[in-house]
Structure 1
């Protein structure tokens, strides 16, 4: 059973309302998202490009721009080393295209997820030396590559790191953490201790964009030229699930507008192939349609295919690549579903179900899909989940966590059982000997301080909202908060004791429940529920009986009352426009 909570932050949102000329509901929603500092509020309410921060405040950024300028001038060979996820591919694309624009002799390399693993490595460095590369620039990786970068420096290669991941550390004899740094010629990462850049939550593409801003200035290229890359930064920002506040909000809000009239041949081909050509592109399409197709190449093939799609100027090639990426993503979906079904079967039929931390060994799951499967299981059971798969002669795992369980810190306590691991509070990756999987499961569960309360799914409401307060003006007001995402979730309102007038099941697969609801003032409003209809029926029958459910479906007087958690939206159907509540939860 889910527990319902209403957020109640002790800040006077009326003052914010007056100061920034916004409604009290909007100011309360912003306070709920911890957007209370003047600068954050200003950037949120007016996310214009003029409000982007000064890139020169980022540690080593001017130094890196100067190195690149000199290398271009002396016609030295530059190689970009990217990463195989969306952020890595987009970062590499932005850097490649902008360096080409600056007249650089530049190419790129993206490690193979299975053969090479994550980030720059010794083999890539050696190959670069063989190819006469003078300078390596990493995108979305490199901050932890201490040994490969030392090797590159020993070979006389100049190295610039652009990254946004956490700074690596070692523990000294006292158990204190000492942050470590590579011998790279310049390291650009806002998370560095001495970095004065105000905003620390950029994705890899965001960091590269800041570098290009300065490089263009240094080479006297109109800075506005680099703004054309913002549509790509928006894709990476959404897909890397970083906080959609401050500068990231500026990127995504403006980038989505650009994407809806994109001129990029590859993106246009992918938009057409995925069937969203005539739709208004939103964060949903970035995170669940475009992003997964680019990601699929890095998971099941080679990420360079996704990069080639963005670079190509040939329409025919773009169409072929878009089709291949779309088909790879369909294949990825099928394989993921099989993995999820197997994981559920193991949870339901073994002792794993009693655990507070799931460690599920499924050798047949493709190692690139382990994280997605872990995420689905975490969502279903609200339990931190690690899916372990077979990888050559060892085992590899990928984990997804819940609020209140720092997966990285918990794995740190088990490091003696692991060959390698890394990550952050909500996600982690690891490799280990197969015989250590069961000991890892036992130790994580012995050490965990998670309670039953922690594992109870929570419904966090922004506020109680009477249904009679829902109108077109409110909905328009709420749309000013878009785009929604991490740190700026879609607002969720609640109301108690709602009378149901009629219910009907719609959709080809009978998977949509439409309800007619009665407001306190006697008006009717539509509600739509996309969740588990069988569960809804069971809850109603348990409380009110099967007869009352039948009466609901027949539109007859019934005694059914519900508490609902909802988001108000506009329903457009056959030219008719009406208000409907999207019901997220009920009780």
Structure 2
């Protein structure tokens, strides 16, 4: 039974910490090159606890068939009505919004159908991150089903370094020479007003599919499918690029009486949506949940080859496999060479080609990991000289600080030092920068206040990208150190509005998800429930109920719990270089196993016999064949405090 009111269990060790907040003081292991003073740990901040539902609320949800645990967790995530909870749990494809309710969808379907009927040359124009690549691949696969065998269908994805991001005049001229008469963008185009007009003068019709906030003046495209258009009334605004591409594919296949075939493309939707760190609520949640199932049954030769190389087991693939295995490999193409490699992997039906492309991505990702670690050493060294700075800005020569890696490095360093980080890759006259926030520092608002310093910039509260003349770098750093604007630690624009992406250039947000075992961003430091009866609340049945809310990610974080008064029966280190702390914990005659990630160096702080308060998520310890053995859970510890 899940308690609706936090209270002190009489068998637990007393604690003076109120249940609405818990301040934990034990630090995490310092990274090489930084002292503990420079590296405030995750534990150094307070955890707040969501307000428990009232008895009346629990009764209302139970009457609607919603389990108490589901009701509390979903309410914590902003899913607050019984009907919304039912839809979330059902995750039914039949209940997602009709694609034709997206603005300009009917015009897009009409124009593409005409192009297919007349065997026109169609070009798909993507972007070089996971969302841009998967959305371009998805539309290519959909159109390949419908086009005439001899009709031309190709793609264009800009090079991360050599080309301009988004639609450019130079790319349009290249596409024009191919004979393209219809250009369909994915994950880009909303801000390219002049470029779309230039395409018209070349005789190219442009259909934009995008999810970035458009400028006040919209491009005069043949059709512009973007839920953030002010004249769009579509109910699901948080679809990312691959989600918008999927809706177009759904409408197109429906027009040809083949709508059921769109389900085959859901695996790409899952990869692109998770890779773009989109909110996993509403339609996104449904599409990704169904997409993960499709991933297990995929017929996509490229995905099968990539998953085999990544050692992902069939039937056990989860959202974290995309975040930490598939996504980084797909992104490695654009970071290290060209995103076209990943696109061709995802669109080929030839198994030999798929295996060759997958091996190439594997090699690029391994090289990316080595370069990232080398660059991390350099940025840590520079950061050491900025101990007292509230914002860290580091930079180096382009050859040693690759532009494709600086976003990852900024995210990793920000996680380590718990401060906003700006990393710049310098050329002879200008630098490209990538920024990641920490706490309530609103990066895009800080950049907007000195927009005069930049050649271009874009992003949101937590991440941004920019180009700056080298002579302006010091002025930027001084501005950041003294900036006192209104912060926002979510994804909004600092005033409660939705996230705003600058019209100048879409931000480089790849790398927002840092490739670590567990990352709890500052704005996720909330406990869903305080456990008062662990023997009945922390069970396999509870784990099963929690897993029904998956996939977890932005907007729908993995549920976090708190349990006070556990006694350490045994502890030992595990993992590479003793990085992690393993524990056997007891309370009220019940024993739990747990792992405190990246806390191996603190083993002496947690003596056997000590009482501790623990913040954790619940994991499955063993998954035997049906009917064989006992199914246990373990605690994935994210914070721990010695009592007293």
Asked whether the two chains share a fold, i.e. TM above 0.5, the reply is yes
The change in CA–CA distance for 1:9 and 1:187 in structure 2 (over 3 A counts) is farther
1:2 Cα offset (Å)? 2.1
Alignment of 1:183 onto 2:251: no
Alignment of 1:358 onto 2:426: no
Match of 2:233 in 1: 196
State which of 127, 141, 161 in structure 2 corresponds to 1:97. Answer: 141
Match of 2:514 in 1: none
Cα contact 2:239–2:278 (8 A) shared by 1: yes
1:10 Cα offset (Å)? 6.7
Alignment of 1:262 onto 2:298: yes
Alignment of 1:50 onto 2:94: yes
State which of 93, 108, 117 in structure 1 corresponds to 2:164. Answer: 117
Alignment of 1:386 onto 2:422: yes
Root-mean-square deviation (CA, aligned residues, Å) is: 2.2
Structure 1-normalised TM-score?
Answer: 0.90
Cα contact 2:50–2:529 (8 A) shared by 1: yes
Match of 1:176 in 2: none
Secondary structure, aligned partner of 2:390: coil
The change in CA–CA distance for 1:324 and 1:458 in structure 2 (over 3 A counts) is closer
Match of 2:590 in 1: 523
The change in CA–CA distance for 1:387 and 1:410 in structure 2 (over 3 A counts) is same
Higher helix share: 1
The change in CA–CA distance for 1:392 and 1:37 in structure 2 (over 3 A counts) is farther
Cα contact 1:293–1:326 (8 A) shared by 2: yes
1:278 Cα offset (Å)? 4.8
Alignment of 1:295 onto 2:338: no
1:17 Cα offset (Å)? 2.7
1:152 Cα offset (Å)? 0.8
Measure the CA separation in 2 of the matches of 1:101 and 1:42. Answer: 35
Measure the CA separation in 1 of the matches of 2:351 and 2:614. Answer: 49
1:40 Cα offset (Å)? 3.3
Write out per-residue CA displacement over residues 501-524 of structure 1, whole angstroms, 9 at most, x where no aligned residue: 1112234532332212121x2222
Measure the CA separation in 2 of the matches of 1:456 and 1:316. Answer: 44
Match of 1:432 in 2: 468
Within a 5 Å distance, the mapping from 1:127-142 to structure 2 comes to 127-142=174-189
Within a 5 Å distance, the mapping from 1:140-539 to structure 2 comes to 140-168=187-215, 179-218=216-255, 220-278=256-314, 280-348=316-384, 350=385, 352-363=386-397, 364-391=400-427, 393-449=429-485, 459-466=525-532, 467-468=534-535, 469-507=537-575, 509-519=577-587, 521-537=588-604, 539=605
Secondary structure, aligned partner of 1:509: helix
Measure the CA separation in 2 of the matches of 1:402 and 1:508. Answer: 28
Aligned residues: 555
Match of 1:171 in 2: none
Within a 5 Å distance, the mapping from 1:65-80 to structure 2 comes to 65-80=109-124
Match of 2:70 in 1: 26
Cα contact 2:264–2:298 (8 A) shared by 1: no
| Contiguous gaps of at least 5 residues in structure 1 | 169-178, 541-548, 553-557
The change in CA–CA distance for 1:9 and 1:129 in structure 2 (over 3 A counts) is farther
Cα contact 1:163–1:204 (8 A) shared by 2: yes
1:532 Cα offset (Å)? 2.1
The change in CA–CA distance for 1:38 and 1:579 in structure 2 (over 3 A counts) is closer
The change in CA–CA distance for 1:96 and 1:459 in structure 2 (over 3 A counts) is closer
Q: Which has the higher contact order (CA 8 A, sep 6+)?
A: 2
Match of 2:46 in 1: 3
Cα contact 1:395–1:434 (8 A) shared by 2: yes
Match of 1:585 in 2: 639
Measure the CA separation in 1 of the matches of 2:185 and 2:548. Answer: 36
